[in-house]
Amino acid sequence: MRRISPVNTVLVLTATLLLAACAGGSQPAPEVPESEITASVPELTAMHDLVYPLWHTAYPEKDYDLIRELLPGFEEHMTAVEQASLPGILREKETAWQEGKELLTDSFTALKEAAKADDRDEMLKQTETFHMNYERLVRVLRPLVGELEEFHQELYKLYHYYMPAYDLAKIREAVSAMEEKVEPLKGVQLPSRLSDRQSDFEEQVAELSRRVAALARQLENPSRNAVNQAIESVHTAYQNTEKIFD
């Protein structure tokens, strides 16, 4: 049976809601699955059980036998990661996810070839490369600022579910949650390696806060077009904030 990715499911659902809205107005929005707004891929997490001894024991101790012993166990994990789909909330990470998977696969193949040839220097080199590519793939999924990800979870539901259905009750609920979640963002200090972007981040967060407040005001006496435009404005402000980390 063909596997349908969560991203495609969301696109189909969003299109259905938009068509329904055009045909005759609003309808109650469906509940958003928790798995769709959780920024994780369990298949990649499960691989860490083997990555840990490979990197923290076999590599520093130059235990070539252990490297060979661990490699067969990676095969199933590699297949699972290759077939894994991103949750809907990470749809914008798809290109980086695919590129990261290719690098991980290439380095795993190179590591197996080095082990087969008993090229010990190359085994260590490719173990290091494989670990680096694994961590890179993890970083694709891991939110840099947890407070921004919490805000995004509410915006995701609003933008992809509640707005297309124009479910005012759920729109108001999401906007109320975003008003709460935008406040902690104002106190976020970026990691030292991004300290030169702190000022830009604070400016974008302030703009995001203003647009959330404007959306809340629109809901006091709502019209569909005005509310949708205000939601689009919040979405754009969120994207501009996220671009700080590109």
Q: Which amino acid is at 30?
A: P
Question: To which residue do tokens 């894994």 refer?
Answer: 84
Provide the token pair at 71.
Answer: 């490699």
Q: Taking 50 as the threshold, does the pLDDT of residue 237 lie above it?
A: yes
With bands split at pLDDT 50, 70 and 90, how would you rate the model's confidence at 25? low
The pLDDT of residue 41: 93
| pLDDT tens digits for range 82-127 | 999 899 988 888 999 999 999 999 999 999 999 999 999 999 999 9
Reported pTM: 0.73
Residues 228 and 163: their CA atoms lie apart, in Å, by: 7
Domains of the chain by residue range: 6-37+144-245, 42-141
Q: Which of the pair, 148 or 6, is modelled with greater confidence?
A: 148
Q: What dihedral angle (degrees, nearest 10) is formed by the CA atoms of 8, 10, 12, 13? A: 160
User: One-letter amino acid identity for 125?
Assistant: K
Q: What is the pLDDT of residue 5?
A: 54
Region 42-141: CATH code: 1.20.120
**For residue 196, is pLDDT > 80?**
yes
User: What pLDDT is attached to residue 38?
Assistant: 86
Question: Per CATH, which fold does 6-37+144-245 belong to?
Answer: Four Helix Bundle (Hemerythrin (Met), subunit A) (1.20.120)
Write out pLDDT tens, residues 50-66. 999 999 999 999 999 99
Number of other residues whose CB lies within 10 A of the CB of residue 123: 25
Sign of torsion over alpha carbons 51, 55, 59, 63: negative
Does residue 92 contact residue 143 with C-beta atoms inside 8 Å? no
Share of the chain above pLDDT 70, in %: 89
What pLDDT was estimated at residue 8?
53
What does the CA dihedral 39, 41, 46, 50 come to, rounded to 10 degrees? -90
Q: Nearest-CA neighbor of 29 among 170, 204, 194, 207?
A: 170
Q: Which pLDDT score, from 0 to 100, does residue 55 have?
A: 97
pLDDT at 40: 87
User: Do 207 and 240 form a contact (C-beta atoms < 8 A)?
Assistant: yes
CA dihedral of 146, 147, 148, 154, whole degrees rounded to 10? 110
Give residue 19's pLDDT.
47
Euclidean distance between CA atoms 237 and 193, whole angstroms: 23
What length does the chain have?
Answer: 246
User: How high does pLDDT run on average in the chain?
Assistant: 89
Distance CA 126, CA 114 (A): 8
Q: What is the CA radius of gyration of the chain?
A: 22
Q: Which of 163, 186, 191 is nearest to 241 (CA)?
A: 186
Cα 234 to Cα 155, 213, 215, 240: the distances in Å are 8, 9, 8, 10
Which pairs with CB-CB distance under 8 Å and at least 24 residues apart come from 97-100?
A: 97/137, 97/140, 97/141, 100/133, 100/136, 100/137, 100/140
